[in-house]
Amino acid sequence: MKRLIEKEWITKEGNKAIVLLVSPSMPHRYGYVQVSNENRNYGKEYDTLDINVHGGLTYSSHNLLGREGWWFCFDAAHYMDGWDWEAGKALIDTDKLKEIISRTKNITQNIYEPGSLEYMIYECNSLSEQLEK
């Protein structure tokens, strides 16, 4: 699976955040927020929290891409989420991308817009804020 960190920053709450573009075949994004070990949510499983982000939380772990800490994740790879073909060019060979688009042309119509980088940044910031409440 190919991955590209598109954005990495510190939120206003002081949490690390990452937007990751992933492409096993269809390019989509994941949003991650790390909380400190002093945070009341540190070590909690994602499905025990009442958090409102795109598609809900889908993952929590002590390690993300070799970065220690406690990370929470959501993604824009759910049913009816669109794929970001333009961004996918950074991860997928052009001929392979054309083949995938051709195969999926009919099913990609009338679906939601992909989780743009800007949208995922907004959602990461919202997640960070909710984790600090």
Interacting residues of 14 by C-beta distance below 8 A, sequence separation 6+? 36
> What integer pLDDT is reported at residue 68 of this predicted model?
84
> What integer pLDDT is reported at residue 97 of this predicted model?
58
pTM for the model = 0.80
> What integer pLDDT is reported at residue 23 of this predicted model?
76
> What integer pLDDT is reported at residue 93 of this predicted model?
64
Q: Per-residue pLDDT averaged across 10-14, rounded?
A: 98
> What integer pLDDT is reported at residue 17 of this predicted model?
97
* Higher per-residue confidence, 32 vs 101: 32
Render pLDDT for 33-44 as a digit per residue (tens, 0 to 9): 999 999 999 999
Q: Is 117 helix (H, G, I), strand (E, B) or coil?
A: helix
> What integer pLDDT is reported at residue 118 of this predicted model?
87
pLDDT over threshold 80, residue 117: yes
Domain housing 107 = 2-131
Assigned token pair, 22: 């992933």
Share of the chain above pLDDT 90, in %: 49
C-alpha of 2 from chain center: 14
Provide DSSP, 34-100: EE-TTSTTTT--GGGS---STT---EEEEEETTEEEEEEEEES-STT----HHHHTTTS-HHHHHHH
* Total domain count, the chain: 1
Biggest CA-to-CA distance, the chain: 49
- d(CA 46, CA 86) in angstroms, rounded, equals 30
pLDDT over threshold 50, residue 108: no
Mean pLDDT over all residues of the chain?
83
